[in-house]
Structure 1
Amino acid sequence: MNDSAIPPDDPNRTLVHSRPDDPALPHVAVAGGTYTILVAGEQTAGRYCLIDMRVPPGGGPPPHRHDFEEMFTVLDGAVEFTFRGESTVARAGETVNIPANAPHFFRNSSDHPARLLCMCTPAGQDEFFLRVGDPVDGPTAPAPKLDAAQQDERKARAGRLAAEYRTEMLTP
């Protein structure tokens, strides 16, 4: 008899070893940046996802909130996070955790590209990005140049899908 509170090992789950430059990984342009899904929710039984975000100067999402935790570690550059109306700058090596349901956004306000790792728990944000973004060829591929109508369509798509992914966009 096993009295452990820990469930037995699930042999159907496998080790995930992800390399950001792997062309087989999904790379998608979102909010002006290029995001690579390093570890998808389907690989973690929905527990979390890990996204490599390359954000150009001026890039970043609009104000929003969601019903899951989101943690960012800045790998390169500096990113300004606005959390409940208060701003702070996180630099390479620093980590920012956004609690579930809190309004926030981030912006690369520097003149240089920034790179972040974003972990969301539970997973789902990875799927949202794949549905609202545009596929690109790799992690350093630029986002496609979108005209005003295409930008409006992406915003409308994100707005339509937001509730399905426990997200609320806070701008019109």
Structure 2
Amino acid sequence: MSSPHPATTFPPRDAFVAGKDDAPAYWFYDTLWVILADVHQTGGSFSVLEQWMRAGVGPPLHVHNVDEWFFVFSGSMDMQVGARKLTATAGDSIWIPRGTDHGFTTTEETHVLNGYAPGGVEQIIAGIATPAERRELPPQDLELPDPDAFGRLLDNYWSSLSTNTWARTAPQR
């Protein structure tokens, strides 16, 4: 964990336009992820992803060393953000400060915009997910990633399950 956050090492890039039809897309855990702005494009400032998720999916409680934000276009998610439990529905915006335990489960098919500042967390998806063959939810029999490789990527990009000791001791960036 001694390496700096990867977002701090990228120089600013030129202006860009990314659309959901040409931006990189991945299948990962019953979700279609489209990376609209990544750490390389924004000079590390932020990253933005669009996600389409099946009902009943979502991560367990985890923590990032970056700020995270969601905007719900459609569907709903039962969320825990810190000690607070809430249901986010279409039109809701959720801000999660760095270092805050959070997790969610979708209660129906859900479409969100998801951002991180600084950027870099999207590299977890790009590093382990399956490139999407089509712009639709992944096949239900899609093979899950190797858990050890996934854990290494999480550690590299300052993300962790909330139960991991380092999640409470990592320096804030």
Give the TM-score normalised by the residue count of structure 1. 0.80
> How much has 1:85 moved relative to structure 2?
4.2
1:47-76 Cα distance to aligned partner (Å, 9 max, x none): 000000111101112221010000000011
Correspondence for 1:59: 57
**After the TM superposition, which residues 35-50 of structure 1 pair with which residues of structure 2 at under 5 Å, given as runs?**
35-50=33-48
Cα 1:84–1:143 change in 2 (3 A) is: farther
> How much has 1:143 moved relative to structure 2?
4.4
In structure 1, what is the Cα distance between the partners aligned to 2:62 and 2:146? Answer: 15
In structure 1, what is the Cα distance between the partners aligned to 2:63 and 2:110? Answer: 22
Whether the 8 Å contact between 1:53 and 1:118 is mirrored in structure 2 is yes
Whether the 8 Å contact between 1:136 and 1:143 is mirrored in structure 2 is no
**After the TM superposition, which residues 79-118 of structure 1 pair with which residues of structure 2 at under 5 Å, given as runs?**
79-110=77-108, 113-118=109-114
Give the TM-score normalised by the residue count of structure 2. 0.80
Correspondence for 2:146: 154
Structure 1 unaligned blocks of 5 or more: 1-11
Counting matched residue pairs gives: 153
> How much has 1:100 moved relative to structure 2?
0.2
Correspondence for 2:161: 169
1:163 is matched by which residue type in structure 2? Answer: D
In structure 1, what is the Cα distance between the partners aligned to 2:83 and 2:139? Answer: 28
Identity %: 24
> How much has 1:15 moved relative to structure 2?
2.2
Whether the 8 Å contact between 2:54 and 2:137 is mirrored in structure 1 is no
Name which one, 1 or 2, has greater alpha-carbon Rg.
Answer: 1
In structure 1, what is the Cα distance between the partners aligned to 2:68 and 2:33? Answer: 15
SS in 1 for 2:34: strand
The partner residue of 2:132 within 136, 141, 150 is 136
Correspondence for 1:18: 18
Structure 2 unaligned blocks of 5 or more: 1-11, 165-173
